């Protein structure tokens, strides 16, 4: 699932923020050694934190339906995880880095969810919107300076991009086909060993199929 979110984010950045291949999009840890090897304009979306959105957890089963509305299966609701990306720009000139960050910001701000046309793999089949935020301050328990310190690099301008991603927790389970015929009950006179009033069955109250 994480790699599918990576690819969706890469496609969105290339289409809306970096058209024409003005910069490469990677997901590497921006360490000092990595930065020294860069020789082309690059936008780096480093995934530095993964944690569950506990408030989004749901109970019970979801009903799956075909285009006609008939129930075809059930599945447990997905669990939602917050994927936090540290997005930075890398060029030989600081001004160019600022231009790239400005393009990323302008390209992502119009979107509150990952566009469906950029999703692939299992994500489209889940049929849910995948929230996207950019530039929102990180949680108080995290500090950007601490992240850079852990990476061994120098503090750089960056954008916090967060995707709330669904993770399936169970396969789909098929349900029995819908009942299309009315229920019929036959009543017999046990004492006399024959049906009362002849042999015709006594129909039960008709119940329309769902």
67 located within any domain: yes
Which pLDDT score is estimated for 48?
A: 92
26 vs 179: which has the higher pLDDT? 26
Residue 17 lies in a domain: yes
Closest CA to 72 of 62, 80, 82, 81: 62
Is 195 within a domain? no
> pLDDT grade, residue 117 (50/70/90)?
very high
Structural domain span for residue 69: 2-174
- Say if pTM beats, i.e. exceeds, 0.85: no
pLDDT confidence of residue 94 = 93
Instruction: Examine residue 92 and state whether it is found in any structural domain, yes or no.
Output: yes
Read off the pLDDT band of 88 (50, 70, 90). Answer: very high
Tokens of 40: 């082309």
Q: What is the mean pLDDT of residues 88-115?
A: 94
Q: Is residue 210 one of the residues assigned to a domain?
A: no
3 state SS of 40: coil
Q: How many domains does the chain have?
A: 1
Q: What is the mean pLDDT of residues 158-162?
A: 93
Residue 196 within any structural domain of the chain: no
Partners of 161 in beta bridges: 85, 134
Instruction: Tell me how far apart the alpha carbons of residues 20 and 17 are, in angstroms, rounded to a whole number.
Output: 10
Note the pLDDT of residue 209: 53
pLDDT of residue 100: 95
Mean of pLDDT values over 149-159: 86
Q: Which two tokens stand for residue 72?
A: 């075809």
Q: Is residue 58 part of a domain?
A: yes
State what percent of residues in the chain have pLDDT above 90: 44
**CA separation, residue 32 to residues 35, 147, 183 (Å):** 5, 13, 74
The top-scoring range by mean pLDDT among 63-72, 76-85, 144-153 is: 76-85
The mean pLDDT value for 125-150 works out to 82
pLDDT at 87 (0 to 100): 95
Residue 195 confidence (pLDDT) above 70: no
For 73-84, what is each residue's pLDDT tens digit?
Answer: 666 778 899 999
Within-domain flag for 61: yes
pLDDT at residue 34 greater than cutoff 80:
yes
Which tokens sit at 98? 């600022």
Q: Which residue has the tokens 């944690």?
A: 51
Q: Give burial (CB, 10 Å; 0-12/13-18/19+) of 83.
A: buried
């Amino acid at each position: 699932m994480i790699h599918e979110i990576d690819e969706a984010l890469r496609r969105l950045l290339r289409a809306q923020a970096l058209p024409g291949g003005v910069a490469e999009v990677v997901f590497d840890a921006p360490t000092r050694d990595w930065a020294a090897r860069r020789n082309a304009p690059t936008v780096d979306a480093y995934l530095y934190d993964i944690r569950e959105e506990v408030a989004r957890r749901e109970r019970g089963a979801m009903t799956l339906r075909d285009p006609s509305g008939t129930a075809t299966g059930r599945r447990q609701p997905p669990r939602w995880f917050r994927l936090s990306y540290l997005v930075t720009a890398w060029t030989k000139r600081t001004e160019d880095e600022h231009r790239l960050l400005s393009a990323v910001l302008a390209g992502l701000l119009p979107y509150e969810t990952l566009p469906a046309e950029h999703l692939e793999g299992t994500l489209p089949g889940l049929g849910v919107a995948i929230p996207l935020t950019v530039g929102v301050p990180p949680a108080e328990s995290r500090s950007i300076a601490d992240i850079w310190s852990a990476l061994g690099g120098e503090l750089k301008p960056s954008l916090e991009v967060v995707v709330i991603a669904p993770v399936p927790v169970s396969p789909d389970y098929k349900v029995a086909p819908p009942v299309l015929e009315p229920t019929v009950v036959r009543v017999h006179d046990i004492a006399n060993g024959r049906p009362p009033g002849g042999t015709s069955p006594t129909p039960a109250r008709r119940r329309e199929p769902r």
